[in-house]
Amino acid sequence: MAEALVVRNLSKRFGGLRAVQDVSFSVREGETLALIGPNGAGKTTSFNLITGYFRPDAGSVLAFGRELVGLRPHEVCAHGLARTFQVARPFGRMTVLANVMTGAFLRHRKPDRAEMRAREVLDFVGLAARADVPARDLTTIDQRRLEMARALATDPRLLLLDEVMAGLNPAEIDQAVALVEKLSRRGLTVVVVEHVMRAVMALARHIVVLDHGQKIADGDPAEVMANEGVIRAYLGTGYAQAAASGGGAC
């Protein structure tokens, strides 16, 4: 299978903090990759580097054969990479339908075509009944659904999900996992940043582990879980290291 995303030697520092250091990994088309690691490991920063919100200090991001470094976020989206945000950011003044239509307008400029596409996506994520509700009135899980729907409405080839499971209860996590599996079965390439291990194990055949901005493991779930570095990063060699890894933006 062809490579959907190839990240090579990606680096970014914020002042003295090396948020992402020399990280490389690749995602094959149709696969679901999980990017995991303790808080502050550089997962969200990597997302922001890939999707054009930050400019890397070094490295390259190749998606479907095109270099993304230097592109603005909307250009990255137009190239087929859609993302969600860790904290859901709905357009609160709009209805749920209008939110998703805003995404659909990228490929369909006519309002009735965009509405049709938006309703399909709302159906798919299970929000059809809430279409006319103001987006700000949604519950947490519905806001996550909306984030996904809005991203899906742009007809992406690669979907980047930033902690869509955070703050959900176990039943809701199962629903969200089922939704991502459904997308994956349709052939969509998915990259998830996730803390909820249950979801990671259910979804990903390929896991990349970051710690302190560096890649410490890359492989299938069994390999990664047996990796000594991963165990050290998660469980710590002592309390001191656990405390030290708490700082920094995630």
Partner 1 sequence: MRRPRGSGGLWLGALILAMLVLPQIVSNDFAIDIFIRVLLFAFIGVAWNLIGGYARQLSLGHAAYFGLGAYTSTILQIRFGVSPWIGMPAGGIVAMLASLPIGSLCFRLRGPYFAIATIATAQVLMLLFLKFRDFAWGAEGTTIPDLGNAPLMMQFEAKSAYYYIALALLAIGLAITAWIERSWIGYYLVAVGEDEDAAEAVGVNALRIKRNIYLVSAFLTALAGTFYVQYIYFIDPNTAFSFNISVEAALVSIVGGIGTLWGPVLGTVLLEATSALLQSWLGGSHGGVQLTVYGLILIAVILWRPAGLLGVLTDVYRRLLRAGATPAKAAPIDG
Give the binding site for partner 1 (CB under 8 A): 51-53, 72-74, 77-78, 82-85, 89-95, 98, 101-103, 105-106, 109, 111, 114, 150-151, 153-154
Q: In b/e form, how buried is each residue of 144-159, taking b as 16+ CB within 10 angstroms?
A: bbbbbbbbbbbbbbbb
The structure tokens listed for 122 are 């709302």
**Considering beta carbons, is residue 72 or 232 the nearer one to partner 1?**
72
The strands making up 17-28's β-sheet, listed across from edge to edge, are 17-28, 3-14, 58-63, 66-67
**Considering beta carbons, is residue 21 or 84 the nearer one to partner 1?**
84
Contact assessment for residue 20 and residue 12, using Cβ atoms and an 8 Å cutoff? yes
Provide the 8-state DSSP code for 39: T
**Considering beta carbons, is residue 151 or 173 the nearer one to partner 1?**
151
**Considering beta carbons, is residue 131 or 201 the nearer one to partner 1?**
131
Closest contact distance (angstroms) between CB of 250 and partner 1 is: 17
Dihedral sign of CA atoms 102, 104, 110, 111 in order: negative
Closest contact distance (angstroms) between CB of 46 and partner 1 is: 16
Closest contact distance (angstroms) between CB of 57 and partner 1 is: 21
Closest contact distance (angstroms) between CB of 157 and partner 1 is: 13
**Considering beta carbons, is residue 146 or 204 the nearer one to partner 1?**
146
Dihedral sign of CA atoms 81, 85, 88, 90 in order: negative
Closest contact distance (angstroms) between CB of 188 and partner 1 is: 16
